[in-house]
Structure 1
C-alpha cells in the first residue's frame, strides 16, 4: 500500500485525506516545530510544508504538504492564502461580518497539495469548489467555513450536506483525487 506522510497537525485534514484516498496508508506528521506558512501562494505554502515533511517522513512515504483557503469575490479574493490567520478562530463569524450588506456572495474553496518523494520527485495537485456564502450559518457537520459555504448547484451549505457529501466533492477531495492520479 502506498504511504503518505501528511505534513500537518490538523486531524480534520488527515481524516478528509484518508477518506479521499482509501488505497493509501496516511499518517500525520504533526510536530511542535511546523514551518512558517509565509509563501505568496497556496502552492508555495504547500511546498514549504512538503519540504519540511520530507525531512521528517519515512523514506518510503511521499511527504505531502497541503494549503487551502477560501476566496470571496466581494473581498477581492481574500482571505485567500491568509485564510487561517484571517479567520482567527471564528471563520463563520468573521466571514459573515465581512460580507454584511454585500450583494455579491460568490466564493470558492481552493486546495493545493505538493508531494515530494525521497528521491526529490515533486507532484502538484489542485482542487477547487465553486459556490457562494450564505447569509447565515446552517448545518452541523464539517469545519471551518462549511456552515456558510453553499456549493454551486446546491441549496444546503457544506455543513448541511454533511461529511459524506464532502468526502466526494470538497476542494480537498478533488485535489486528493488529482494527487492519487499523479501518484
Structure 2
C-alpha cells in the first residue's frame, strides 16, 4: 500500500482532527461528521473505530482513505473503566468525574488508549493502536489539551498533559502513537 495523502476522519470532534493533523504532517485530513453518525455500540475501542471507519468509507471522497478513531481512559482502581464509555461516563466534566471517582484511592494508575481503523478506497483495512500510561493527579493543572489532560500525568513526567502542551502531545500522546503506527502500516 502507498501512504494516503487524503484521509476522511469519521468524527465531529475538532480536537481529534487537530491532533491527527499535527501527528501526520503532509496529509490532508478532513472531518466527515454528519448529523447521522453511526452508534458507538462496540465492546472495544477497535469495534467502535471500525464502525466509524466503515461509516466514513460510505461518505468519504473517492480515492481517499476513511478512518474511525475511538479512544478513552482506563483507570486501574475502576477495573479498567470507563474505557469505551469514557465520553458518556464523563458527562461533560471529565476532570471532575474522575477526581470524584478516585477520591480517597491510593491506586491512581491510568492509561489513555487510542485505536484508529482506516479503510482504503479498495476496502482494505488497517488497524493502529497507541497507549499512554500515567497516573491521575489530585487536582487539575494546565490549560492545553482537552478531556482528562489537566489531571493525567504521564509516566516519567511530573506535569499533566495539559501542562506539557500540544507540542509534547504531537509525539507522545496515545493518538500520536496510533497515528504513527497508521503511517507505518500504510507506507
Question: Same fold by TM (over 0.5)?
Answer: yes
**SS of corresponding position for 2:181:** helix
**SS of corresponding position for 1:127:** strand
**SS of corresponding position for 2:158:** coil
89, 92, 98: which one aligns with 2:92: 89
Cα distance, 1:23 vs. partner? 2.0
1:19-58 matches, cutoff 5 A: 19-58=22-61
Partner of 1:161: 164
1:8-157 matches, cutoff 5 A: 8-157=11-160
2-side partners of 1:127 and 1:108: how far apart? 10
1-side partners of 2:157 and 2:111: how far apart? 14
**SS of corresponding position for 1:162:** helix
TM-score, length basis structure 2: 0.97
1-side partners of 2:68 and 2:182: how far apart? 11
**SS of corresponding position for 2:150:** coil
Gaps of 5+ in 1: none
CA RMSD, aligned part only?
Answer: 0.7
**SS of corresponding position for 2:80:** coil
The answer to which of 96-105 and 18-27 deviates more is 18-27
Cα distance, 1:142 vs. partner? 0.4
2-side partners of 1:177 and 1:170: how far apart? 11
Cα distance, 1:131 vs. partner? 0.4
Deviating above 6 A after TM superposition, structure 1's stretches of 4 or more consecutive aligned residues are none
Aligned length: 183
CA displacement 1:14-70 (0-9 Å, x = unmatched): 000000001211111111111000000000000000000000001111100000000
2-side partners of 1:173 and 1:119: how far apart? 25
**SS of corresponding position for 2:149:** coil
